[in-house]
Chains A and B, each alone.
Chain A
Amino acid sequence: MGIYKIIAVGVISAFIIVYLKYINSELTMPVTVCSGIILLLTTASYVYDFIGELKNLTYLSEIDTGVFSIIIKIIAISYLVEFSASLIDDFGLKSISDKVVFAGRIIILTMSMPIVKNLVEVIVDLI
């Protein structure tokens, strides 16, 4: 099962990073990044299947596929920004991670502008 692979990759990466801290601490950063990317890529197929099932459900509902794809992109961007910000934080470069987070917020706000505009129109119509 895939979860055993993910657990195995995670545990082995942790052992390697802890070991490398004593031998060659400079190598811990690239190993951390690589293990994170490998774990993400391992779960990508499951995420793809899940999004496919949700998309099938949207055909039964009233959601526009454009709106659905916006939401998925927003979720993906937010998670990637958080992932990279925490990695950069691990390198000790808080200022760069803050800038990455800021950029991610701006991009998400820009993408979600049509949804927020729709919400404001609904509230104004109510009032």
Chain B
Amino acid sequence: MIKKLSILIFSILFVFLFFSIKQVAYAEENSTPENIEKTIEELIDSLDFEGVERIYSDTVEKFTDGDDFKSFLFSLIIGENEDGYTDYIQFVLNTFKENVKEKIPVFISLFIVLILCGIISSLKSGTSGSGVMEIAYFATYSIVLCSVVGIGYSIIVKGKNAVDGVASIIQTVFPILLSLMTATGGAAQAAVYSPSAAFICEFIVIIIQNLIFPIVIAVMVLSVLSNINKNVKLKGAIGLCYSIIKWIIGLIIAVFSIFLTVKGLSAALSDGISLRAIKYTINSSIPIVGGVMKDGLDVIMASAVLLKNSLGALSVIMIFGYIIGPIIEIVAISFTLKLVNAVTEPIGDGRTFEFINSISGALNYVVAALLLVSLSFIITIIMMIITSQTII
């Protein structure tokens, strides 16, 4: 009886005490976003970005209202970057217009010579004088050949320089990205992506410079020869060259993408497992402060991963900024060539039309080669960003 009474009294006292507590205790604020920003700033200052800053000032700075590299990278990381889509579109249109304006004298001269070719071909009559007109036509056609081949060759040189430029951007940016990846615990991924960078710089660029561009030049030479005389027929050879280029580009993209995707994902999983193992060890083996140290490690890792991903995104922007100029230039010249060809088709001979069409088609592969090397790099960066999410 007494025992039951004492239990009842203690329960009532306990409930009374529980509901009479008016003090509320707050945990101290961790201020995690500020910690991350501070860590990121320290990381940015500790790294050497000299080469990347040079590339940034050549490619992207004109779009960023004069922000220097480190401020722009920090604004990307914290998400304060404003999207100036209208500026980019305006830049594209202005570059296109300027390139067309610059080439207007060349295209007017081509237009005049094509009109004269047309006059000669329309003056051909009967069989006795046709030999004389054919020679006169050959003389004016030679001028068309020289102009168009000169334009085509200048485009190939621009394409070659642009591919070399992209390769140098890859060689500058990749070591920093790989070292950040290793520092964030992605050692296995770095081991996968390091050969992919070498693959892009060495293999793809060498294939483009030593195989694709010479084949494009061969197509130009074959176009010249096949249209000089009606009896010389080389369209099959030109078609063969186009097929070779298409197969090479398709194979490179397929093999590279499949290899990178499979290897990158599997490496990310193994890195994620090893990092989780490390965190568990820290948390469980170090008494009292193990949990704090694990959180500290998380902050540093998150900052480094943010920095790596933002640097990757900035590299992609720099690549776009670098190749957009040459691509617009090549597209503008190709477009104007096709326009002149279309305007002079009614009055000209079929041979000049076929020749200029063939050259314009060959020049599209210069753009394709430039996009191949740029997209290989961009795919690698995107894979590096995506697969690092599985680590944290």
Q: A78-B123, A86-B128, A86-B129 are in contact. Are A60 and B143 (CB under 8 A)?
A: no
What per-residue 1/0 map shows which CB atoms of A94-113 lie under 8 Å from chain B? 00011001001100110110
Min C-beta distance of A50 to chain B, whole Å: 9
Q: Would you give the 0/1 interface string for A74-85, flagging 1 where the beta carbon is closer than 8 Å to chain B?
A: 110111011101
Given known pairs A60-B105, A101-B131, A118-B146, the reply for A78 and B115 (CB within 8 Å) is: no
A115–B143 CB distance below 8 A: yes
Cβ distance B100 to chain A, nearest Cβ, rounded Å:
14
Is A58 interfacial (CB 8 A cutoff)? Answer: yes
What does the 1/0 interface line of B4-15 toward A look like (CB < 8 Å)?
A: 000000000000
Interface centre among B116, B140, B142 (most CB of A within 10 A): B142
A119 with B136, Cβ < 8 A, contacts A61-B105, A63-B112 known: no
Q: Is B302 an interface residue (CB 8 A)?
A: no
Q: Are B116 and A75 in contact, CB atoms less than 8 angstroms apart?
A: yes
Q: How far is the CB of B150 from chain A (nearest CB, A)?
A: 7
The residue of chain A having its C-beta at the shortest distance from the C-beta of B225 within the complex is A123
- A122 adjacent to chain B (CB < 8 Å): yes
CA A70 – CA B224 in complex, angstroms? 22
Contact with B along A25-42 (1 / 0, CB 8 A): 000000000000000000
For A68, A83, A115, which residue has the most chain B Cβ atoms within 10 angstroms?
A115
A-side contacts of B153, CB under 8 Å: 125-126
Partner of B149, one of A57, A79, A122: A122
Query: Would you call A54 and B112 a contact (CB within 8 A)?
Result: yes
| B124-162 at interface with A (beta carbon < 8 Å) | 125-126, 128-129, 131-133, 135-136, 138-140, 142-143, 145-146, 149-150, 153
B109 adjacent to chain A (CB < 8 Å) = yes
Interface residues of B in 87-129 (CB under 8 A from A): 104-106, 108-109, 111-113, 115-116, 119-120, 123, 125-126, 128-129
Q: Name which residue of chain B comes closest to A103, CB basis.
A: B132
- CA–CA, A97 and B127, complex, Å: 12
Q: Is B268 an interface residue (CB 8 A)?
A: no
In the complex, whether A62 has a CB less than 8 A from a CB of chain B is yes
Number of interface residues of A (CB under 8 A): 41
Question: What residues on B are CB-neighbors of A123 within 8 Å?
Answer: 149, 221, 224
B387, chain A: closest CB distance, angstroms: 44
Contact call A79/B123, Cβ cutoff below 8 A: yes
- A115 with B139: in contact, given A57-B112, A97-B128 (CB under 8 Å)? yes
Q: With a CB–CB cut-off of 8 A, which chain B residues contact A77?
A: 136
Indicate if A6 sits at the interface (CB-CB under 8 A).
Answer: no
Bound complex: CA A122 to CA B142 (Å):
10
The yes or no answer to B77 lying at the interface (CB within 8 A) is no
Q: How far is the CB of B184 from chain A (nearest CB, A)?
A: 49
Contact check: which of A79, A116, A127 meets B139 at CB < 8 Å? A116
A34 to chain B, nearest CB (A): 20
A126 vs B221: C-alpha distance when bound (angstroms): 8
Besides A60-B108, A70-B139, A119-B142, 6 new A-B residue pairs in contact (Cβ under 8 A), listed by A number:
A57-B111, A78-B120, A85-B132, A112-B139, A116-B142, A123-B149
> Which residues does A use to contact B, with CB under 8 Å?
54, 57-58, 60-63, 67-68, 70-72, 74-75, 77-79, 81-83, 85-86, 89, 97-98, 101, 104-105, 108-109, 111-112, 115-116, 118-119, 122-123, 125-127
Please give the residue numbers on chain B whose beta carbons come within 8 Å of chain A beta carbons, in ascending order: 104-106, 108-109, 111-113, 115-116, 119-120, 123, 125-126, 128-129, 131-133, 135-136, 138-140, 142-143, 145-146, 149-150, 153, 217, 220-221, 224
What are the nearest 6 A-B pairs in CB distance? A82-B129, A112-B139, A61-B109, A78-B136, A61-B108, A63-B109
What are 5 contact pairs spanning A and B, CB under 8 A?
A75-B136, A75-B140, A78-B123, A81-B132, A123-B149
